[in-house]
Amino acid sequence: MQGIIVKALAGFYYVESEGRVYQTRARGNFRKKGQTPYVGDWVDFSAEENSEGYILSIHDRKNSLVRPPIVNIDQAVIVMSAKEPDFSLNLLDRFLILLEHKQIHPIVYLTKRDLLRPDELAGFDQIKHLYEAIGYDFIWDMAELPELLDQKITVFMGQTGVGKSTLLNKIAPELGLETGAISDSLGRGRHTTRAVSFYNLYGGKIADTPGFSSLDYEVSDSETLNACFPDIKQLSQDCKFRTCTHTHEPGCAVKPAVASSDLAQSRYDNYLLFLSEIENRRETYKKVAKKGPK
């Protein structure tokens, strides 16, 4: 039989197949191969009536996240707050780089717009236009979400305190969940054993993620970083050198685009910041490697 793992808890894997969920375990040979089944994995499994099933093989994955460990994700809703905590273009771009790197379609959702003054709203209109022009979905009307979730595996992610659980509660009021209860329902509550689970909503499957205080976008070189900025990637096709870092090389097509406002200054600034972080990280690794083990 084939199915998708929808929950992992205490060594058990719950596999959904043709409308039924089967409790299974992974065979010992997975451990020998260094393989671990994760929520989102499509698997071949055996299951007999009234007995425990076994996962036999894991299909190839198209992507994966570490926090939480989920694979084969179609899209991610990045929940950003306008205030409390304050909106950050830097943090948004960090999320977008991670998702571009993992080939996960991003949807940006803005919460707490009611806390903005009229003059501040205009600034967010400009931000929305900027990211939509790049090709991202940027929404702040909750009514747009249900249609986007249909037939998709979606993760919700965001900085701690932005209102992810509140948002999920609002789009599924029939569940009667109070703020913060989504994580409990997924097995990550204070009084439950840690679990990772899918949650059925609007014809799709969703998962909450932990709140992030910091975020590693998992990019380790300038060429990958360039590819994770779709607007910069497109401009870079006209650079003189294929490996142009858009910092000092002659014939760069990106820097003139910033000067002419064809590329947003904030996007270029964040690109340079992330490039610096990558280079500093590599220098640190080199120093550690040179010292060798103690």
| Residue ranges per structural domain of the chain | 2-60, 65-208, 222-291
Residue 252 assigned ligand-binding role: yes
Fold agreement (2-60, 222-291): no
Q: Which CATH class is domain 65-208?
A: alpha beta
Tell me how far apart the terminal alpha carbons of the chain are, to the nearest angstrom: 51
d(CA 187, CA 195): 5
199 DSSP assignment: E
Q: What pLDDT does residue 287 have?
A: 59
Q: What pLDDT does residue 272 have?
A: 97
Determine contact, residues 46/54, Cβ cutoff 8 Å.
yes
Residue 21 assigned ligand-binding role: no
Residue 240 assigned ligand-binding role: no
Residue 163 assigned ligand-binding role: yes
Residue 179 assigned ligand-binding role: no
Residue 246 assigned ligand-binding role: yes
Domain 2-60 fold: OB fold (Dihydrolipoamide Acetyltransferase, E2P) (2.40.50)
List the chain pLDDT tens, one digit each, 294 residues. 999 999 998 889 999 999 899 999 998 788 788 889 999 999 999 987 777 899 999 999 999 988 788 999 999 999 999 998 899 999 999 999 999 999 999 999 999 999 999 889 999 999 999 999 999 999 998 899 999 999 999 999 888 888 887 888 888 775 554 454 444 444 333 333 356 788 888 999 998 776 665 567 789 899 999 999 999 999 999 999 999 999 999 999 999 999 999 999 999 999 999 999 999 887 665 555 555 544
Q: What pLDDT does residue 218 have?
A: 83
39 DSSP assignment: B
E strand segments, 112-231: 137-139, 153-158, 196-197, 199-201, 204-208
Residue 162 assigned ligand-binding role: yes
Residue 244 assigned ligand-binding role: yes
Q: Which CATH class is domain 222-291?
A: mainly alpha
Within 10 Å of residue 210's Cβ, how many Cβ atoms? Answer: 13
Residue 159 assigned ligand-binding role: yes
Residue 228 assigned ligand-binding role: no
Residue 160 assigned ligand-binding role: yes
Residue 7 assigned ligand-binding role: no
